[in-house]
A and B are shown apart, each in its own frame.
Chain A
């Protein structure tokens, strides 16, 4: 194989690996924004929370309980941590966000920004700011796979496949099922949906839980790849917002496709001009904002 093509494919795979996190996080943001009209600034912090919960379940819970042998591993954490983050999200919605719906959206943005700072502060206080590696990667996902053009870590391949399934599943639920139809209707005209006898406040709470749960899930998936640190979400959330702007605010399909594509573009940019790989997304954002301000998949307005 031509070394150049080989390099492009290899960087593309690594880029795609970042892209899955862009896709999953912007998907959660899109789901939340669609129904609640809330820009959840705390999304990055909830991603970080998911990663920390996985770490705590593995390394800290046992010693805290005095059971040194207790290590709750990756697979249980993959279920438990997102559920815990979703539960935390639902508490935020029920007791904090719900009070702000009648006010300007800037208030909910400020609230979620505040939650971000609190969460980061708490974790910097109890852990350190520099990051801790996650030791719980399952043995079955250790090692590498030969993709023909590169040796690719088995775990990263798992993350890519798993995320694609999660993203597609979410898209399917929202666009193709009865529950999704209620959600879409609620996005358009919550008042009428309520008048039909659907408990919209409950639906809103569960949706926020689902969106934040996705962030938590992304956090668990990220834990074995990146080191678990209180600021891991803060670094990512800026890119995520760029993804959301490019894809179109509130568009489910837009979030997924844009997330994966931008990861790829970022990776491939590394082949040609590595220093630009961090800025290429923002460059694209500027272009999209100038040419198509509603985003690639967004509707007018």
Chain B
């Protein structure tokens, strides 16, 4: 199994606690993944999956524990140093497209964090829809276009670790399918990916491992090979 052979994890989180103001939302998250792997964070709304990503990015009021990325500790880094130093690309919930910026401006906004980022031409090849709307303002895009833009702009930066939050939410099945192809493509190019996903059917064929989060804790870890045998458990976790 891949966890056992994990000698040098790219991302290793131990005992991560996080707070929004006074409210304690993560109660000791543990997870790890090796370079080139894809994990999902599953769970119900409000379980703490998005907060886990936001904690990695330093977007919570307070965080404790340990976040090692390529062996370097990030728990005390200021928020604006995390993405450049860890080469992370973050795609937030609700996509985070800036309404007052054009498609091109949104694309060029995040600073470069490493070499070998995709060029604008490559990105327009990967997302042909975006090429036709490059001068349009962020607000005047469809949900699918916004999502593609949100992914494209972090691929431009040269990030190698991608944190993707609910990328299929509210999108038409045909676009979800396209996104599935994109994620598979990215994985084959060696990107390391953390996927927060509500749509298990979307996530299941992509992931190496699933972490089930509830009340701000990891309550179960299921390897891709064991998904079949664990369907009852999974259904129980994910049922509303």
Identify the A interface with B (CB < 8 A).
Answer: 178, 181-182, 184-185, 187-189, 191-200
Contacts and interface: CB of A to CB of B under 8 A. Distances in A.
Contacts of B96: 189, 192
Contacts of A188: 98-100
A191 B59 contact: yes
A199 B79 CA distance: 9
B109 interface: yes
B80 A199 contact: yes
A194 B78 CA distance: 9
B: contact size bracket: 20 to 34
Interface string B83-105: 11000001010001011110001
Contacts of B82: 195, 197
A197 B156 CA distance: 14
17 contacts: A182-B109, A184-B98, A184-B100, A184-B101, A185-B109, A192-B59, A192-B90, A192-B92, A194-B59, A195-B57, A195-B82, A196-B83, A196-B110, A196-B157, A197-B84, A198-B80, A200-B80
B182 interface: no
Nearest to A177: B105
B59 A195 contact: yes
Interface string B19-63: 000000000000000000000000000000000000001110000
A195 B58 contact: yes
A181 B110 contact: no
A240 B157 CA distance: 42
A197 B111 contact: yes
A197 B100 contact: no
A196 B81 CA distance: 9
A189 B111 contact: no
Contact of A197 (B59, B81, B98, B105): B81
Contacts of A184: 98, 100-101
The winner among A182, A184, A185 for most chain B CB atoms within 10 A is A185
A202 to B, nearest CB: 9
A200 B82 CA distance: 13
Given A184-B98, A184-B101, A189-B96, A195 B83 contact: yes
Interface string B112-129: 010000000000000000
Contacts of A181: 101, 105, 108-109
Nearest to B99: A188
Interface in B170-202: none
Nearest to A180: B105
The winner among A182, A185, A189, A197 for most chain B CB atoms within 10 A is A197
Contact of A195 (B90, B98, B99, B105): B90
Nearest to A191: B59
Given A184-B98, A189-B96, A195 B108 contact: no
A191 B90 CA distance: 12
Nearest to B104: A181
Nearest to B56: A195
B150 to A, nearest CB: 10
Contacts of A198: 80, 110-111
A193 B97 CA distance: 11
Contacts of A182: 109
Nearest to A178: B108
Nearest to B61: A102
B59 A185 contact: no
Given A182-B109, A188-B99, A196-B83, 4 more contacts: A194-B79, A195-B83, A197-B80, A197-B81
A198 B98 CA distance: 15
Contact of B113 (A178, A193, A197, A200): A197
A49 B79 CA distance: 36
B101 to A, nearest CB: 5
Contacts of B111: 196-198
Nearest to B110: A196
